[in-house]
Structure 1
Amino acid sequence: MADYQRLGPAPVGERAREERVRTRDGVHLATDVYLPFDAAGVPDGSPGDTVLIRLPYDKNGEYTFIPLVAEYLVAHGYRVVAQDVRGKFRSEGEALLFVNEVRDGADTLDWIVAQSWSNGRVAMWGDSYYGYTQWAAAASGHPALRAIAPRVTGTGLGEPVRRAPGDRVRAVEMGITNMYPLTHFAGNDTFHWEPDWSRRDFAVQAEAFQSWAGSRSISYDQWVPHPVTLPRFPNGSPFAGRSVPVLHTIGWWDNCAPLSWADVAEIRRRPGWDAHHYLRIESIDHENYRLHEAPGDRTPERSEAQIRALLPAMLDPALDFFAVFVRGEGSPADIPRVAWSLAGTDEERIAPAWPPAGTQRVTRYATAEGGLAAERPDGEAECSWVHDPEDLVPSSAPDAFSYLLHLPDEAPIGAREDVLVFTGPPQPADADLAGPVAARVRVRSTGPVLDCFVRLLDVSPDGTALRIARGQQQLHDAQEPGTLEIDLGHVGYRLRAGHRLRVHVSSSDYPEFLPQPGTGGDPWTEGIDTVPNTQTLTIGGAEALALDLPVLNGVLA
């Protein structure tokens, strides 16, 4: 049997006072209130600005260290409200992903402004799902919400890929998708467990877990085997209503960054939101590990001292933002519209827009000899490899959410026969990349469905390789050739002299993404029976594999 662990609520902290917020349908949400203390050590109940944090991961638990976050924010003069979302830990109601957060966020804001310690001005802060709850509260249009600071998140967080009939090109399903409701939304508690990834009977293992837990996950049953869409936002969009100022933080190595960039693109189409949108891009992953970090701090279990040392980087940008948009101190012009980390250096740069002015698009083409060339090869050629569902290309990091904790060398993956490798010449001098990266590939398969993964790497002179961008798409009816336009996300990266760019192309990245069984069956429910497929990629000619790169400074070899 799998190792199932149930994690219940941690004790309420000494500095918190737990309240029960009643929602419009009578459900009570467990809510901690942190107030400043006066010189005599007595809670200061005078009115002040409030920061609200709504999360499903236990407002008192070690994982999110909210009591330490609250302590830091209170020390800067804020009242802090931390709440278990509906159905989680001490809160009542059903554990149901996403759909109640707009209403519950608005009801909580109503409750806050009615308290004697509130002056009616509220901001929100948080990562991942508790970044999502900020977008949801903003979508309610509540007038008390003056600013939000969502980090490493997206309004399209979590739900499975929708399979529109007749659409040949789709996204590739992440392995975590169906696991999330089976771990974090399978009841009030959190459950720690993983499938046996060496087996392909994922749906069977999910049923075994729910039998052990004694209850079913509502969200899982909505998604498997046929995903059902429930409305998340009024009018179908988080950006349909009144805008609020947003400090929007994205991590270069966050596995959820594609969701963040999708929101950036949508906000640009909404003038009201775009006018109040401020972007931060940092050299972090989803769990806030940093590219440039002392080896002693790159640990899976951070100590309290390490967490306290991390808080200024996590919270000070939001505090500066709230000072302007909540407290009215200073001017919006004091906040840079874009602040971005140039990875590979310790520089933080500012710009009026993203990508920065002066970025030029440069295209590199794969060659039949395994190179990356500035000129498109004239003659068309093909490269083939075998996608064997019984011998999948492994994911480079054991946990996709903490990629920079592991900081894997991806060069060995390129030694596999089922990974195509294309490497550019050494850089004669440093070059800075800043902006979107995209690949165009022409592929086909002997099987009905082909997953195409494209990874962009920085190869050091010692041969080690760091992944700096990636993207993937799925082609259906793949016996007929299809051209995929693959978004590899954005980069802000210094490619050093003597380093090379490298591209990996493959058909699996397991278990971060669910693998194709080769039969056309659903990988989660029908992945037991497998068939190897031969995949073919076009090199050269009009359909050559092409990689578009954004060069800000320097010359790309």
Structure 2
Amino acid sequence: MLFPMFPQGFVLSDYEVRRVDIPARDGVRLHTVIATPKNAQGKLPILMTRTPYNAEGEQKDMGSPYMQNFVREGYVFVYQDVRGHYGSGGKFVMMRPMRKAKDGVDEATDAYDTIDWLLKNVESNGRIGMIGVSYPGWTTLVASADPHPALRAASPQASPLDMFINDDFHRNGAFRLSYGFEYAYAMETGKEWTTFPFGTRDTYDWYLRLGPLSNVEAKHFKGRIPSWTGFVAHPNHDAYWTDRSIASRLTGPKVPTLTVGGWWDQEDPWGPQEGYRLLARSDPKGWNHLALGPWNHGGWGGKGDKLGAISFGSDTGTAFRNDIEAPFFAYYLKDKGQKPAMVSTFQTGADRWQKDASWPPKGATKGTMYLRGGKGLSTTPPVSGSDAYVSDPANPVPYRPRPVSPTYADGSGWWDWQVGDQRFVDHRPDVLTYETPPLGQDLTMKGKVTARLWASTTGTDADWVVKVIDQYPDGDPKLGGYQLPITMEVVRARFRDGLQKPKPVPAGKPVSYTIDLHSANHVWKKGHRLVVQIQSTWFPVIDRNPQTFLVNPYLAKASDYRAHTHRIFHEPGRASCLMFDRAP
């Protein structure tokens, strides 16, 4: 039987709010806000969010578009501060390590204890759902990997997975300087969010004047920010990072799970895709759902009709909430409606939703585009040649146009920089641009995207940044010549053979690098160009590589930063290329 959505049609004023401090197993009390609809016809499920960003503020956002469907449908809403932040007791630990001892505590045990208390003290139908975006997405994912029996549905949205491999703090071992610095300060200065007082509009200049990373402790943090202390003490992918990673526990979904991510998530693009992949390895009950759309970090909470200068032809955020998210929870928590599609992705370029049984879709064919002489890009392998540029840490390529405002400043360009027009750097001598002629027919990438670079450096370390771009025709009336990034990533050469044991790059020797560019679902329309840009600095979102191998780059001196010549090869036996899945 099919049930209509929103049969009772609650409004915000129908909810009564109360506050309790729920005891965890070690006695720490967790501040919790509970909103219950009055005069509900029957018992309702509980929908819970655990957050470091203020449970009181989360509850006040119940009137937002993101929550409207849930409010109308009727749930008991629970918002909880994680331990050590805002109203909760205990000590806050960034990305709290997974417990190893049975009597230990972590985010999973705190969720378990909270659910246990709710079942005994709050009227419900006995089913709990969890939902959250970003850090609350991570607490949701952790709870779902070690769940209370009453946890019956979970939606980790924009959740990080392993903070050294990718997402917020690193990208393949390359340190995300501006984000790591500003986020750690904001989260660990006190129990409430606090932004760093830069005193300038242009953090590009501020971070450049900061000098080597060793100056952060000496001049600013002085041991007061635990995450930064951890960065310095653990420059490689060691137990410090794996203890904080949920990846090893994602052996298969233990509860129905809807993973959500954005193609242009500026903070956590990899976590949702990789988390889904890990869960998909063993899913006999068909619980592993995925939604990927044309969004930045959490962008599905609004209309989602555009991002920056790029329009999508419809309200993709509204469609996601109406057609994917609300039905998911109604099905698993209320036995209403039909089981949602396993995979829903929005195909950019063509601007349409698509449904698949898995991601990447099975049966995809493989495509390859080779870098060629004359800065060309073609399906034909190269004949000979290479291109060189000088990478100078004293003059790094900015990751977005200057002034680079602080990440969380009002009006910051942080939220949409990943769709920013890349023409602002393609004239620089330290950025290589390769392009196809105008395409004679549509080109679709649907699935995995990988770059293979053959490169050398006169130094002993280097970064390689690869951008895959859709360049609009010059005659486009609104976006003529616009270079739209579809996917971008960086690798640090010292980690080419593994993130645990870095080693120097042999100076002057061509070395092969494989760069995971995650996945995409995008159509390059006829007349557009496929463009690949390569550079070695991306500042200050990525720290400057000294280009001199150091055992610990966080202890670098100013004299360690040196300009070096980098070379990209496109010749037989050393054919740099872009490899991708094509639509099945």
Please, what TM-score do these two structures have when normalized by structure 2? 0.80
* Alpha carbons of structure 1 residues 527 and 429: separation in structure 2 relative to 1, 3 Å: farther
- Checking the alignment, whether the CA contact within 8 Å between 1:443 and 1:537 is kept in structure 2 is yes
Is the deviation greater in 152-161 or in 463-472? 152-161
Secondary structure, in 3 states, of the residue corresponding to 1:113? helix
Give secondary structure in 2 for the equivalent of 1:483.
strand
What is the rounded CA distance, in whole Å, between the counterparts of 1:226 and 1:433 in structure 2? 37
Partner of 2:112: 106
Task: Show the counterpart of 1:468.
Answer: 486
Structure 1 counterpart SS, 2:90: coil
SS in 2 for 1:148: strand
2:173 corresponds to: 171
Q: Distance in 1 between matches of 2:60 and 2:510?
A: 46
> Aligned residue for 1:543?
574
Inter-CA distance 25–292: structure 2 relative to 1 (3 Å threshold): closer
Partner of 1:429: 441
Cα pair distance change 1:376/1:346, threshold 3 Å: closer
Does 2:85 match 1:93?
A: no
Closer/same/farther in 2, CA of residues 118 and 507 from structure 1, 3 Å limit: same
RMSD: 3.3
Is the Cα contact below 8 Å between 2:347 and 2:523 reproduced in 1? Answer: yes
Q: CA deviation at 1:500?
A: 0.1
Question: Measured at CA, do residues 374 and 294 of structure 1 come closer, stay the same or move farther in structure 2, by a change above 3 Å?
Answer: closer
Separation (CA, whole Å) in 2 of partners of 1:546 and 1:209: 42
Match of 1:338 in 2: 343
Does structure 1 residue 217 correspond to structure 2 residue 221? Answer: no
Match of 1:534 in 2: 565
Superposed counterparts of 1:122-161, under 5 Å: 122-157=128-163
Q: 1:185 aligns with which of 188, 194, 203?
A: 188
Structure 1 contact 338–351 (Cα < 8 Å) conserved: yes
Measured in 2, the distance between the counterparts of 1:420 and 1:267 equals: 38
Gap change, CA 1:45 and 1:217, over 3 Å in 2: farther
The partner residue of 2:263 within 252, 255, 269 is 252
| Aligned-partner residue type, residue 526 of structure 1 | A
Structure 2 portions without partners, runs of 5+: 1-14, 97-105, 310-314, 475-480, 495-503
- Asked if the contact 2:47/2:75 (under 8 Å) is kept, the reply is yes
Point out where structure 1 has 5 or more consecutive residues left out of the alignment.
1-13, 39-43, 162-168, 300-307
* Correspondence for 2:101: none
Superposed displacement of residue 82, structure 1: 0.6
Aligned residue identity for 1:223: F
The alpha-carbon deviation at position 431 of structure 1 amounts to 2.8
- Give the equivalent residue in structure 2 for 1:304: none
Code of the residue aligned with 1:76 in structure 2: it is: E
Partner of 1:198: 208
2:52 is equivalent to residue 56 of structure 1? yes
Supply the AA of the counterpart residue of 1:517: P
When residues 392 and 487 of structure 1 are mapped into structure 2, their CA distance, relative to the original with a 3 A threshold, is: same
* Cα separation, 1, equivalents of 2:72 and 2:158: 25
The 2-side partners of 1:500 and 1:363 are apart by 15
The answer to which of 533-542 and 236-245 deviates more is: 236-245
Residue matched to 2:76 = 79
Alignment partner of 1:411 is 2:423? yes
Contact 1:73 1:80 in 2 (8 A): no
CA drift at 1:204: 3.1
Distance 1:340 1:527, change over 3 A: farther
Contact 1:148 1:247 in 2 (8 A): yes
The one-character-per-residue Cα deviations of 1:408-438 (angstroms, maximum 9, x if unpaired) are: 2102311110011111111123333211111
Mapped partners of 1:242, 1:549: distance in 2: 28
Q: 1:27 to 1:291 in 2, by over 3 A?
A: closer
What is the distance in 1 between the residues matched to 2:26 and 2:123? Answer: 25
- The residue number in structure 2 matching 1:384 is 388
Letter in 2 for 1:535: H
Using the TM superposition, give the Cα deviation of residue 158 of structure 1 relative to its aligned residue in structure 2, in angstroms.
6.8
Q: How far apart, in 2, do the equivalents of 1:527 and 1:423 lie?
A: 38
Residue 180 of structure 1: CA displacement?
Answer: 2.7
| CA distance in 1 between partners of 2:491 and 2:280 (Å) | 24
